[in-house]
Structure 1
Amino acid sequence: MSTTDDAPTPGAPGPEARADTTPPVHEEPPAPDATAPADSSEPAGAGPDDDRHDHDRYDDDRHDDNPDDDGRSAEEPGEPAGSPPDDAPSRKSGPQARDAEDRYRAETVSSAAFNEAFNNAMSFGGNAYTLNVGTAKGAELQRIRLDATETARQHQLHRPVEQQERMAETLRDHHLVTLVGPPGSGREGTGTFLLADRCGSDRVAVLHSADADLLQALVAQASRCLKRGEGVLVGLGSRRPGQSTLKALSLLAHEHGAYVVLVVDDTRIDDDLTAPYAFRHRRPEPRQVLDAHLRSALEEHRARCTDRDRCDRARTRRYADAVLDDARMGGKLDAARTIDWITAFARNVVACLHGPEDALDVLLDTPHEDLRSLVRRFLKLSESHDAEGEPSASEAETHHQAVRISYVLGHDLPLSDVLRMGTRLSAEMLRAEYRESAPARPVFELDLDRLVAPGMGIAAEPGSYLTDNPRRARLTDPELMPAVVEVIWHGFGWLRDPLVAWLRALADDRLERIGARAAVIVGQLLRHDFDGVYRDVVKDWARSPSVRDRRYAAMALSVAMADDDPRLTAQVARQVRDWSGSPRPQLQDSAARAYGTQVGTQDVPGTLRALQDLGGRPALDPYASVAYSTAALYLAEGGAAPVGEALGRWIRADDGHLPRHAVRTLLVLGPLAAGPELPSRPTLAHQAMETPGREETLLLLWRRALIDPAHSGQAWQLLRDWLVAADDDEELALFLEKFALRIWPPKDRRALFHLRRWARQLPDARLIARLLRGLGGC
């Protein structure tokens, strides 16, 4: 239900009815004995006055309104062409004239038929009733007059939607407007607002029929269903009216002085809205809807509450502000699938006002809906329909489902990546269905805003992400990713093979972020089928000659381990140990990379021993995996001290393998700052300043790094950065001035060369100038 700007005062009047030149039609509810009220001035069986007036009008236009009239002229076959048109006696005497009159009587609601329909009226809460004004041959139409007080409240709470002013202008000029949008987007609320704003809150009705030809019946029976100065809201479901039907209804509504709003479900991708009557309806801003309904509900509660001290106006305003400012509210509103859910949620929030202290927290922390059920419904949606409006299998439908899957699994990736992923998945799905050919243009009909529209519980509202450049896929809840993986793997069995083939293809994508996302998805699949997914994907990645593939294998195992399943954790640890003990260099490298993830951070000392064993082998000399994993352990909680000790052992090792890995670790950790409070101080220097034993290890690391042919260039550049940063940190400058002079022997030619070059490039670098003087360079 849609909403407006100001919260209504309870009992506030709604928009008044427009003045009309004709007396209003009064519809009287049925008597308790289910008999129609009789007028003593009318003969037995006569209907109300409105029915007589409708008969008079209908008599004038009977040839236009008769659904049996197929558009033929008044001259029937067999009638002399020269017969005078006004020769009534001669027309009534012929059999064809009598047939025409019988047809006319069958289509005209007689007094008896009207009374029978009136007696079958249904009461709605005492405020509205349904009147069956159809005939035995036509569709049965039910006309429900909306309660004026509730309509006025809706009018007050309505929040504007896109193009609302144009909708109002179209309704004024054409007496007809069509709102096309997804269910739950507030179309009925917007239609009610437009009609109440035009006709008054007491002159709005809803027209309903169980028959399929509702709109055609309305056109045929317009004189009985459309009342001057009144508005009618008609829901058509997924059936789209044609241009000619809309034109005819617009002319009839204008002729009778009535206003009509049609509500149509938005179910197709490649539709053309029928101008000038139809508008795409998008739901209003959810936060504005919640604000209006929450404050209105609080005002109603305050008016009823007997505890005036706890329910004063200032307290309820503070409560509403606190609720709307809560950080959790964004996620709740993003997950809201309908406007009605938001209005109901506002009432639930008000119910927490006098509840237990944690009542509101419990409400905000409660999941909006079971994620797996939401995913199942989302993935089974079809955007392809046949001529009857029913879902049908097609290449477009397969592609739409592939794009939906890619959107969820591509959370936080640019939409261009999502489309790349979706196109590849679509090709794999079509191949699995044994299609002879793939669609020539698989994305030519694609509209992501409708395939994954906000309000479906999947995509977050775009409001807070409009500044994204590039625009990204955003989910209402990141936990939807593992939910989709689980539902696909266990609920869509035929998708397993296409999904595995798709993930292997993504790993080869030129964009590494897409390959990394494939590794994350594979890791989530490992939680559900470790043996099968490892055999089909991870094993090949771990043995691949590509460094990137081996990194993906380590990442997948880390994601699987993040599930905190003890059995799965033990299985992952065993697998990494198997890699470590393999004679294959690629598997050893994959093990070293896995130790730098959550696989290794759970036991830092044990992992350092495993890395020391791997680093002592010549097979890993070409790779930096040991260094990067050691750096990751250093940054883990409680990892700095054991890593510092391990580096001291490695740099003093007799073989040439571990010292090289230690130097690489220095180069990886060297640029990192000690923390936000010391942004200019390198973390390794900070550790050496606080622990004298670490200073000796750092000295050995620098001496080895500056003379290593493979890393000396990178090491000299890193040292320059340390010396420049020390100009902003006096304590660091004092430490490095003494420390640097210990690295080089006096008048070291390489040191003098680099210091002189840096001094020319950075004439304001104070520490570099002092070191140059200390070495005797000037």
Structure 2
Amino acid sequence: MTDDDAARTKSEQAPEPGNSAAGGAQAGTGGPGTSGEPRPSGSGKEEQDGIVREGFTRNSFRVGPNVDEELYYSVTSTGATVIGDHSSAANAQIYIGTDDKPGPQAGLITGLDDLQRVYAPAPSDRDLDELLGQRHVVCLTGAPGTGRFTTARVLLARRHGEDSIREIFLPARVDPESLCADKTVPVEGAGHILRLPGGDGARLARLLEERFRQRKASLVLIRDLNAHRATEAGAEVRHERPDPADVFERHLCHLLRRVDGAECRDACGADGCRSRYVRDCLGMSNLRKALADQYRPADIVAIAATVARHLPTDEQAMQRSLATTPPQLRSRAISILLPGEAADRLRHQRIGQYERAFRIAYAVFLHQPLRYVLNATGLLLGLIDEEARRPDLGRPALEHPVDELLGDVLRQDWNDGRSGDPGASRRVHLRNSAMRGAILSVAWHEFDNSRSALLRWLGRLAQDGDATARRASAEIAGLLAHHEFEQVYEELIDGWAQSPRPSVREAAALATAVADRGGEVGTQVREKVREWVHNGTNRQRDTAVLVYAGGMHQPHLGWELADLRRIAKDRMQRHNQVIAEAIYQLYQPAAAGAIVAELSRWRTVVPAGRHAVRAWLALAERPASDGISPEMLARLNSGDVDPRHVAALWRSALLSRERPPKGRPESSRAWDLFGEWMHRADAAPALRASMLELLRRLAVTPALYQRLCFYLPRIFANAGRLPDWLDTV
């Protein structure tokens, strides 16, 4: 008996001949999904019948393309100018197995060559380097955002080489002490970095010292500075920020360098060079002040990027450029929400609150019709009154024009966004969309007793508002979680994740994805998602799979597959296409073999088998990098995936009895996609051998052999006959 014969199960018996497409297959553009409105779920009905998310298309749950710019000042996660947690690590290994709790993993850190060229030394570097020469495990303490991770990467790269630096990731509920007995971590001869959420870094350094010495490896532990505990000499080094002018100079020189590294941009005229231009910039008093006012190196890098983009040549031009940098945006936001002392004395307290509430709502609903701002302002004022334990004072009607409520600064933005059509609905406009995040950050940090009212306000917008209000509130909740993770999740997002309403759970997932985009709470976000999966309810797991479908990844592929495997067991997911979308978002060519092998294991397990079929169909229609061939067919042809697993998944899909509550049977869609594969192989002779081998493996199943005899002539009906290369089957 062959492996393919053994793989057959009773569940794979062929369905009755139906209305599957008989002509040339047309790959759908929507991916795995259904259509229509989510059903309201109350008193467990959702868990019994399964949730149906309709109107679902590819990338439905991804964060909007403008969120990074609007909330996080266009922070990116790639390139040599990356500072702090905004960097990325590429996983060196892939865990695939049945254990939901894999051990520690060491991901390879990339991009260190460019980073070393722009690195500005910190005053504490010498102490850290000396300690690394004496010990194999040291602890680097300091405040978040000061460049600790960058320093650790650069100093370890100098000691171990640029291609030997790894970041250690620990699964949820696994202590760092587990590294003492782990077989794969540390990697021999490599430098390692481990971020500690808390605890005694010096004690852990002593505990791990012998283990890393045996492997000739190094480890830098990064922990936040504890004001109640002194830095321990001989085991810990307190990190200090690099000089702001040095950071600016190195990054600006790098940004001005041409791709070949030989010439500068035309920033300083025919007689100058980029070094002279940088010196001229540093001679401008407004730039020096802006640099001195910065605390985080990342903000200085943002200033350098802005200067490189605008190339100001005098102080007036420099001031215009600085107006778009994070520090200046924050100053502008403060002027919007904190009017001067003289103005406050002339105004009634309620008018000031009214204006601030209106301006906060204006920022929340950027690009949306003004009616959202008006309605949300009244709701926020009512919650402010409730927080102050006073009667709802309401709002005067027909008294305050929008221009007056916006104030001098925002009024200009509002008027600039005026449409040429006098009858068009007015929409919220900000000349610099990054002001959205700046205003909300000031509202969160600069007022006493405001946080509870803001969180309750966002909660009401998500619970009672429409899709636009929910999305806006979720984006702002994610920003606030980036500032105060525990409070925002405890008081707001955790409640959304357990809501009986699918749309509110979607808001929780979006907020979680937005929080992750800021780069400072990524570890906490991933632990929260895994907590929902393994310790939560069905509804929390539904929220978790939405986060994955939005494109968020765990630092190790196996952890995410283990989470999706657990979610697939829930009855409420039986009609849900989101697990398939999560697999689609997870996919990367290097992991093709591991993902296909995992799906092949799912197919024999109820109820995960139905999700294996849906995920396979999503991957089967995914285009390859050439934009023509199906990605999985290209991987099959190159030997990156096991042909036995591919055949098993096609067998389950082509003989599937599953049918969505609305829409075509999955087997019908499978035959369409299979036809696409056949047509592509017919057009590309290099793919035919792999396709013939796949057909042979499928034909050993009697029911599928009958179907192939029926469908193959119809797949090539337009040609009038089967291609000659199929004669050998």
When Rg is computed on C-alpha atoms for both structures, the one with the higher figure is 1
Q: Give the shorter-chain TM-score range.
A: 0.3 to 0.5
Comparing both chains, which one has the higher relative contact order based on Cα–Cα distances under 8 Å and sequence gaps of 6 or more? 2
